């Protein structure tokens, strides 16, 4: 159930559903998603579905992880430094670490961050820097970032996060409420901020504070 064939099938399905970036597909083929999910759910680790993580949180659906990663790299971008907000189990963090040299990831739930750290060690990825904090504030001590990827839905775009983007940088994030959310791409250019709306998505909400 966690065999190479099962993984290959997940990649084929991502391709059928419009994911085109070969770098993203290769990264997702290489990272064993079952390591990141609860052992009781590992038979479903390669289904294209989100799964419960505990603490009321979910590991994002593979298609969503692929889509967001692809958007970060699109238009010939080669980001060197990325901030992920909402580490969860660390699966998206692992995919980013395959694609971008410097990865920072913040999570507000300490117990999830500990698990993510363990999961990343299991797949021998030790370079991502994981920080226990409220990602609504970004990560000022490591800013600016070429890319910011947010894995929880915010009601609106935050000025603070745009400030932490490097000139020419890009942020990919879900904006909306429990009922309706869309993926947005926000580019910081010399002339201001460009926003483009993409797919309808479903993320857990961005919450304040840490626990």
Per CB under 6 A, 98 contacts ligand SAH: no
Per CB under 6 A, 123 contacts ligand SAH: no
Per CB under 6 A, 204 contacts ligand SAH: yes
Residue 202 has φ and ψ, to the nearest 5°, of -140, 110
Among 11, 72, 151, 186, binds ligand SAH (CB under 6 A): 151
All residues at 6 or more sequence positions from 126 whose CB lies less than 8 Å from its CB, including other chains: 120
Can 60 be counted among the known catalytic residues? yes
Number of residues that bind ligand SAH (CB under 6 A): 23
Instruction: Characterize 184-199 residue by residue with b for buried, 16 or more Cβ atoms within 10 angstroms of its Cβ, and e for exposed.
Output: bbbbbeeeeeeeeeee
Alpha helices of the chain — where are they, by DSSP H? 4-16, 22-30, 62-73, 91-99, 110-122, 159-163
CA distances from 5 to 8, 113, 170, 191, 210 (A): 5, 30, 34, 47, 39
Per CB under 6 A, 47 contacts ligand SAH: no
When the beta carbons of 124 and 194 are compared against ligand SAH, the nearer one is: 124
60, 69, 105, 147: which is the annotated catalytic residue?
60
Per CB under 6 A, 37 contacts ligand SAH: no
Per CB under 6 A, 86 contacts ligand SAH: yes
Measured from the CB of residue 55, what is the shortest distance to ligand SAH in angstroms? 7
Question: Helices 4-16 and 22-30 sit at what angle, rounded to 10 degrees?
Answer: 150
Measured from the CB of residue 189, what is the shortest distance to ligand SAH in angstroms? 26
Per CB under 6 A, 112 contacts ligand SAH: yes
- Residues assigned a catalytic role: 60
């Amino acid at each position: 159930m966690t065999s190479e064939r099962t993984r290959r099938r997940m990649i084929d399905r991502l391709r059928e559903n419009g994911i085109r970036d070969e770098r993203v597909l290769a990264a997702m083929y290489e990272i064993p998603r079952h390591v990141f999910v609860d052992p009781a759910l590992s038979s479903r680790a390669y289904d294209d579905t989100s799964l419960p993580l505990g603490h009321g949180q979910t590991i994002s659906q593979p298609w969503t992880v692929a889509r967001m990663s692809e958007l970060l790299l699109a238009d010939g971008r080669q980001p060197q430094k990325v901030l992920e907000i909402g580490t969860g189990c660390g699966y998206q963090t692992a995919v980013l670490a395959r694609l971008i040299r410097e990865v920072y990831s913040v999570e507000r739930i300490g117990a999830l961050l500990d698990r993510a750290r363990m999961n990343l060690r299991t797949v021998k990825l030790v370079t991502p820097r994981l920080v226990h904090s409220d990602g609504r504030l970004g990560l000022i001590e490591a800013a600016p970032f070429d890319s910011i990827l947010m894995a929880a839905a915010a009601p609106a775009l935050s000025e603070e996060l745009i400030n932490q983007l490097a000139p020419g940088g890009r942020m990919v994030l879900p904006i909306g409420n429990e009922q309706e959310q869309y993926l947005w791409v926000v580019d910081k250019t010399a002339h201001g901020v460009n926003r483009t709306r993409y797919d309808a998505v479903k993320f857990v909400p961005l919450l304040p504070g840490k626990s």
